[in-house]
A = this chain, B = another copy of it.
Amino acid sequence: MPRFDDAFFATLVELFRWRRDVRRFRPDPVPPVLVEELLHLADLAPSVGNAQPWRFVLVDDAALRRRVREHFLAVNARALAGYRGERAALYARLKLEGLDRAPVQIAVFCDETTKQGHGLGRPTMPETLVWSVVLAIGQLWLAARARGLGLGWVSILEPETVRALLAVPAGWRFVAWLCLGRPEEEHLDPELERAGWQTRTPLSARILRR
């Protein structure tokens, strides 16, 4: 069994601190073998009943990527229309995705029809299936960062539109559009904090005792 020593733990903490949601990518290609390695690490994530419900769609087709970006722009314009005054002006200035530049783009789905796991752990909390997919994305995110890559999760999309564009099997629920590549910049603070949208707040307010 491996020993996880203090030096490893200290670097793991740095990994958590320097992870970011990245929207500014260098266009240099990412070797396919590295993408494959990252997917294998995501595949080691916990899943309810060992169902492994995550499905990864690697999107390389330029026309498809363009249509997804056009769709994002439309959905984001509607999102902007939901804000008023200063907040709207601020929202309009945010950069929320790198769909035009990220060299690797992965659409992630949950196969809600999977029989794997035989339903264990899900009768009273069926959403644990899609939550397993989220755990896999979290692991992919950290592994990517440890390999010098940045990941950005785009959620300003209509799930049904993405499903239709990619023609995925019935029963696959859309979870995330991931942009992956070398980041243009490295930061300790989230871009939303730097841009004045939302600062992080103290943890103590998020802990209760019983």
* Closest Cβ neighbor of A119 among chain B residues: B82
* Closest Cβ neighbor of A49 among chain B residues: B198
Copy count, this protein chain: 2
How long is the Cα–Cα vector from A59 to B1 in the complex, in angstroms?
Answer: 31
Is there a chain B Cβ closer than 8 Å to A184's Cβ? no
Residues of chain A touching chain B, judged by Cβ–Cβ distance below 8 Å, are: 1-2, 4, 8-9, 11-19, 21, 39-41, 43-46, 48-52, 54-61, 64, 75, 78-79, 82-83, 87, 91, 94, 96, 107, 116-125, 127-128, 130-131, 134-135, 137-139, 141-143, 145-148, 153, 155-159, 166-168, 175, 186, 190, 192-193, 197-201, 203, 206-210
Which 9 pairs across A and B sit closest by C-beta, in order of nearness?
A138-B138, A50-B198, A2-B14, A134-B134, A16-B44, A4-B146, A125-B155, A135-B138, A131-B134
Sampled A-B contacts (25; CB under 8 Å): A4-B14, A4-B147, A12-B15, A12-B142, A12-B143, A17-B44, A50-B192, A50-B198, A51-B198, A55-B207, A56-B208, A58-B208, A64-B210, A78-B123, A83-B118, A118-B197, A123-B156, A124-B156, A124-B159, A125-B157, A130-B131, A131-B175, A135-B137, A135-B138, A166-B210
